[in-house]
């Protein structure tokens, strides 16, 4: 597969350069989406070797991912690997995602941090467990850590998903749509890294978005096929 890395970023000048350099040990092509940052995120990413796409204002992680997916499709990539820009995803685990996709024939591979939750904040642990249970039940596949943004996705699969969301709920929507269509979703154990990074997630707002998303797809039947719109 021809694979590029996607790194959505918002005010991540402290970590983004190191992240891009680390990723490029495994993937030559890194596209960083500067989602309206007010700091030096874009400059530092470009200096580290990333292709930088910029949003003039902050539009949300989902919107940033869509911008990057469009770029990857136009440039002929077969798959993408998404990593966060804050250093919470270990780029040395990139080969594990590729190997898992090949071994299991999966269209999506999701990082699984739930085997190492000692350093995970309590609220995030409980939220991850709950949302993973709900989504797994809805799609009939076990996804251990649905809130993990470290993922491999095949471009053919992304192109078939008609995403309607624009914020953090896009990551859940991808799994719901893919699972409803019957795409294979695999899990790969990864490290849990927290080093005091500031989170931009508002737990109340994102919880409301999650429930709204669940109700939107609750009565959509599984097994609709891979070419029909949901």
Report yes or no on 101 lying in a domain.
Answer: yes
Element holding 172 (H helix, E strand): helix 169-181
Dist CA 52 CA 7 (whole Å): 10
Report yes or no on 223 lying in a domain.
Answer: no
Q: Which residues contact 117 (CB under 8 A, 6 or more apart)?
A: 125, 192
Q: Which of these, 143, 132, 142, 157, lies nearest to 110 by C-alpha position? A: 143
pLDDT of 211 reads: 83
CATH number, domain containing residue 32 = 3.90.550.10
Report yes or no on 222 lying in a domain.
Answer: no
**Dihedral of CA 13/18/20/23: which sign?**
negative
How many residues are given for the chain? Answer: 230
Q: Which domain holds residue 15?
A: 3-217
Report yes or no on 8 lying in a domain.
Answer: yes
Residues 125 and 117: beta-carbon distance below 8 Å: yes
Report yes or no on 227 lying in a domain.
Answer: no
Q: Could you give phi then psi for residue 95, rounded to 5 degrees? A: -60, -30
Say if pTM beats, i.e. exceeds, 0.75. yes
Report yes or no on 178 lying in a domain.
Answer: yes
Three-class SS of residue 79? strand
Q: Identify any residues that bridge with 7 across adjacent strands, giving them in sequence order.
A: 32
Q: Identify any residues that bridge with 11 across adjacent strands, giving them in sequence order.
A: none
Report yes or no on 124 lying in a domain.
Answer: yes
If you search the block for the tokens 């003039």, which residue do you land on?
A: 56
- Could you give the strand order of the β-sheet that contains 3-9, starting from the edge strand earlier in sequence? 51-55, 30-35, 3-9, 79-82, 151-154, 108-112, 185-189
pLDDT of 162 reads: 85
Three-class SS of residue 201? coil
Spell out the per-residue pLDDT of the chain, length 230, in tens. 899 999 999 999 999 999 999 999 999 999 999 999 999 999 999 999 999 999 999 999 999 999 999 999 999 999 999 999 999 999 999 999 999 999 999 999 999 988 766 666 777 778 888 999 999 999 999 999 998 999 999 999 999 998 888 888 899 999 999 999 999 999 999 988 766 555 555 566 777 888 888 887 877 766 555 543 33
Q: Which of these, 225, 132, 133, lies nearest to 178 by C-alpha position? A: 225
Q: Taking every pair of C-alpha atoms in the chain, what is the biggest distance, in angstroms?
A: 47
Three-class SS of residue 227? coil
What domain count does the chain have?
A: 1
pLDDT of 128 reads: 82
pLDDT of 230 reads: 37
Report yes or no on 225 lying in a domain.
Answer: no
**Dihedral of CA 207/210/215/221: which sign?**
negative
């Amino acid at each position: 597969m021809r694979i590029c890395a996607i790194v959505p970023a918002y005010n991540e000048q402290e970590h983004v350069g190191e992240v891009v350099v680390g990723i490029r040990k495994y993937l030559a092509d890194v596209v960083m989406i500067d989602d309206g940052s007010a700091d030096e995120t874009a400059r530092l990413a470009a200096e580290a070797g990333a292709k930088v796409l910029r949003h003039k204002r902050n539009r949300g992680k989902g919107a940033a991912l869509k911008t990057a997916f469009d770029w990857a499709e136009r440039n002929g990539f077969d798959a993408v690997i998404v990593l966060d820009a804050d250093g919470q995803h270990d780029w040395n685990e990139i080969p594990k995602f590729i190997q898992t996709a090949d071994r299991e024939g999966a269209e999506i591979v999701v990082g699984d941090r739930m085997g190492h939750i000692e350093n995970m904040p309590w609220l995030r642990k409980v939220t991850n467990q709950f949302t993973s249970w709900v989504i797994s039940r809805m799609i009939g596949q076990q996804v251990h850590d649905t809130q993990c943004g470290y993922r491999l996705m095949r471009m053919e699969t992304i192109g078939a998903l008609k995403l309607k969301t624009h914020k953090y709920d896009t990551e859940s929507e991808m799994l719901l749509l893919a699972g409803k269509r019957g795409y294979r979703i695999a899990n790969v154990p990864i490290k849990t890294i927290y080093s005091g990074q500031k989170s931009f997630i508002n737990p109340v707002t994102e919880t409301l978005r999650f429930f709204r998303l669940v109700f939107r797809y609750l009565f959509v039947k599984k097994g609709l096929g891979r070419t029909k719109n949901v």
